[in-house]
Amino acid sequence: MCIILHNSDGRPMNKYHLRTAYENNPHGYGFMWVEGGHLNIVKGMPKDFGEIWYLASQLSGFAYTLHLRWRTMGAMTVDQCHPFQILDKDNDGLDFGMVHNGTLFEMPKHPEKSDTQLFSENLRKKILEKDPEFRLNFIPKIEEKIGKHNKMVFMTSDNRTLFINKHLGKMINGIWYSNTYSLEKNYRSSPIVTELDVKFGDKDFKMPLPFERGRWVHKRSAMPKWNREVKSKWNQEVKSNKTRATLELTSKSIH
């Protein structure tokens, strides 16, 4: 998963938070901010944290949004880095860009494009067809469709900033973060629990866990399922121990 940082007044960033967020999401970055009547977008594949810190420092005093990417879908290229420009002022009359933290499972799979890029392309078509005056009144309704673990930030060249699921992020010292797990030092390298030790009577049993750290489930149908063989073995062990416990209790009662 990625992380979005929105700095609404261009205040100095917490360097430790920014460095930790970068170390946990090193697969690309992107800034967007309004200057000179245009929405400016700069993105790339970072060489080191110094590049991120320099750019953030240069934007002091500007309201800006920063996206740090952890690749889950799409190629690991500059083109797949956020923000994605949905509308262009020179051609469409308005600059409109977006960043996204989460996964849109409903989007079709594409060998090169990420779910966010496909979403932005579909959104552009919808705006041009149904919202030619760029009121963008329907943007908040997107929240109902994409699930509570998806967050988005949109910015326009006429100084509008729109959020999806803003309440699920967190404000820290005036900066909005789309998640806080990216601020945990060495989050990506933390040990992953893959098995659960379970004890039935005098027997030890290991149950594999189909979960991966950093992966969030966005809809019920995408919830990981238990392996049938594991589930069957689990049920057999429970049934066997219940039967043994009943027999032992009955035996004690007879004596």
Average pLDDT over residues 196-220: 41
In the structure, what pLDDT confidence band is assigned to residue 19 with cuts at 50, 70 and 90? Answer: very high
**163-206 confidence digits (pLDDT tens):** 999 999 999 999 999 999 999 988 877 544 434 444 445 555 45
Q: What angle do CA 180, 184, 187 make, to 5 degrees?
A: 110
User: Beta-carbon neighbour count of residue 209 at 10 Å?
Assistant: 14
pTM: 0.73
Greatest pairwise CA separation for the chain in angstroms: 92
Asked which of 89-93, 214-218, 244-248 is least confident by mean pLDDT, the reply is 214-218
Q: Which two tokens stand for residue 15?
A: 């360097």
Is the CB of residue 96 less than 8 Å from the CB of residue 134?
yes
- For 3-183, which CATH superfamily applies? Aminohydrolase, N-terminal nucleophile (Ntn) domain (3.60.20.10)
**48-61 confidence digits (pLDDT tens):** 999 999 999 999 99
Average pLDDT over residues 138-164: 91
- Nearest Cα to 53, choosing from 85, 87, 15, 24? 15
**pLDDT attached to residue 248:** 52
For 222-249, give the DSSP string. GSPPPPHHHHHHHHHHHHHHHHHHHHHH
SS3 content of the chain, % helix, strand, coil (to 5): 35, 25, 40
**pLDDT attached to residue 21:** 96
Higher pLDDT, 111 or 66: 66
Where do the domains of the chain lie? 3-183, 195-254
